[in-house]
Homo-oligomer: A and B are copies of this chain.
Amino acid sequence: MINKLISKIQKTNAPIVVGLDPTMKFVPEHIKSKAFAECGETLEGAAEAVWQYNKGIVDAISDLVPAVKPQIAMYEQFGVPGVIAFKKTVDYCREKGLVVIGDVKRGDIGSTSEAYAVAHLGKVQVGDKSYYGFDEDFATVNPYFGSDGVNPFVKVCKEEKKGIFVLVKTSNPSSGELQDRLIDGKPLYEIVGEKVAVWGEECMGDGYSYVGAVVGATYPEQGKVLRKLMPKTFILVPGYGAQGGKGADLVHFFNEDGLGAIINSSRGIIAAYQQEQYAKYGAENYADASRAAVLAMKEDIAQALAAK
Residue ranges of A at the interface with B (Cβ–Cβ < 8 Å): 21, 23-24, 32, 36, 41-43, 45-46, 71, 73-74, 76-80, 82-84, 87, 105-110, 112-113, 115-116, 118-120, 124-129, 131-134, 142-149, 167, 170-179, 181-184, 188, 191-192, 195, 238, 243
In the complex, are the beta carbons of A147 and B177 less than 8 A apart?
yes
Give chain B residues whose Cβ lies under 8 Å from the Cβ of A82. Answer: 119, 133
Q: Cα distance A109–B140 when bound, in Å?
A: 13
Which chain B positions have C-beta within 8 A of A112?
Answer: 21, 71, 73-74
Which chain B residue lies CB-closest to A171? B109
A173 near B144: Cβ-Cβ < 8 Å: no
CB <8 Å contact, B77 and A119? yes
When C-beta atoms are compared, the residue in chain B nearest to A125 turns out to be: B24
Minimum Cβ distance to chain B for residue A283 (Å): 16
Contact B105 A107 (CB under 8 A): yes
Q: Which residues of B contact A177 (CB under 8 A)?
A: 146-147, 195
Question: In the complex, how many angstroms separate the beta carbon of A254 from the nearest chain B beta carbon?
Answer: 23
Q: Which residue of B lies closest to A140 (CB)?
A: B108
Contacts of A118 in B (CB 8 A): 77
Knowing A46-B126, A76-B133, A80-B83 touch, does A167 contact B144 (C-beta < 8 A)? yes
Q: Are B144 and A179 in contact (CB under 8 A)?
A: yes
Residues on B with C-beta less than 8 A from A243 are 109
B144 & A143 in contact (Cβ 8 Å cutoff): yes
A-B contact pairs, 12 of them (CB 8 A): A36-B127, A43-B131, A74-B115, A76-B116, A76-B133, A79-B87, A79-B124, A80-B87, A109-B172, A145-B172, A146-B175, A146-B178
Judge whether B119 and A76 touch: CB under 8 Å: yes
A308 to B118, CA, bound (A): 42
**Within 8 Å CB of A149, what residues of B?**
172, 174
How far apart sit A115 and B71, CA to CA, in the bound complex (Å)? Answer: 10
The answer, among B107, B113, B133, for a CB contact under 8 Å with A142, is B107
